[in-house]
Structure 1
Amino acid sequence: MKGRRIGAWYRLVVILLKPVLLLSTRRNWKGAENLPATGGVITVSNHISYADPFTYAHFVYDSGRLPRFMAKESLFRLPLLGRIVRGARQIPVYRETRDAGAAYSAAVAAVRAGELVAIFPEGTLTRDPDGWPMRGKSGAVRVALETGAPLIPVAQWGAQDLLPPYSKRLSLFPPHRIWVTAGPPVDLSRFAGRPMTLPLLTEATEQVMAELTALVEEMRGESAPAERYDPRNRGKPRYGNPNPRTPKTPKARNFPGLQKRKRSGR
């Protein structure tokens, strides 16, 4: 933690947001020892709310690392937020354009420079009606295989109570319970040194999503559906709110597994 070069813009974000998160959340952090203290690393996380990048970043910051997010390019064009994310050296993702490869190249360079790159492999908020991780994209696996850096699954739950999916109604009080757990590195050794064909990337990505989902299952005390939600088969737009009337992701406090842990003090 000591001596890390945080930069002025990153420091501004910490000064502004960390006190808010400390007051509005009750944090259950686990697995921080699985995040390497130094060196390049890729993390993947489930995406349940527009608030979860902040709760995730809080966990990583408390673990002694600074995340560089791969984030949609439209955020970089917003008047104030855009200046902040650019100043904090986040990585813009140009979805389905000729510039899409720039994000991959930037992520590889960042990992090789010893940084922690954070990726939401679903590419958007989960469309699963119960908030489970859905089908993932292969970007994180490609970066991991290209660099040889560890890929760490980081599961989270509870941020949807701060800000429900696609909602603009932020709820800060009473404080909400937030769970974040980092698992051990995904073993991708059987894919290393092989051509990154579509079947290989699909298989490796499914392994990553399976391990991430297992962490969410443990966190929620429930089993995920046997078939992973795939938005390609649902006739919905690939990005944005798929249906304004879609049921909201269930609140964290509604899950008996989490309530049991809360009462027992774990």
Structure 2
Amino acid sequence: MKSIHTIDDVINILQDIINESIENKSPLGYFAALYQKVTIKVKEGIQNNYFDDNQRMEKLDIIFAKRYIDAYYNYKNNTPITSSWEKAFSIANKYWYIVLQHLLVGMNAHINLDLGIAAAEVSKGQNIQNLHDDFNKINEILSSLVNDVQDDLSKVYPFLKKILIWTKNVDDFLIDFSMELARDGAWDFAVELANTPASDFDNAIEKRDIKITKKAGLVISPGFIPRLIFMFIRVSEKGTVAQKIKDLTD
């Protein structure tokens, strides 16, 4: 894997993952495609001095992205990774999961676990509360991921939004995994880690990882009625895996 020193390095490595996924027809490329779009938005924010401390935010973005990138390549190399990422990647080769589910399990691991860790790490030696305003700003960008999901998936199945309106169970399920809700938990976890002794740091992460892995179960096994709806959506998805990845990058 290439070394990561800048946000451009992150964008380029995500492109490598996208290209590899297209070539291998792997659904692992769905999350990478959407995540690259968000990273580009963060880069634009840094260039436009959107954050209070733009240099710190690039460092945070790199630490944050590296957790996903490391998890991806370690998974491909059969090296141990966090259980929440293991859970997310485990559905990659299973036919019945729709694009939305692949995205949500990735978002679950990355936002609910990785973001808090990255925020705590970038704040080492400083008061983490100094990061709070910029943390909220980066989460405003991350929250746009939800809208991107809806817009991009309309290319795969245009009737999805209607189904979500008709089916309250699925709608509630999606709301529970929205970035707007996840960001509050990520910040609380970041503050918890920042106030955790170094000797207990890994234990705190492992405890959180177990909790987030269980949360992924709501995506992977959402219940009988949502599962039937997802099966219907799955068989009506348009395009190959490669085409769907490309749709998410547009």
The interval holding the TM-score normalised by the smaller chain is: 0.3 to 0.5
TM-score (norm 1): 0.31
Q: Which has the higher strand share?
A: 1
More helix, by proportion: 2
Higher relative contact order (CA 8 A, sep 6+): 2
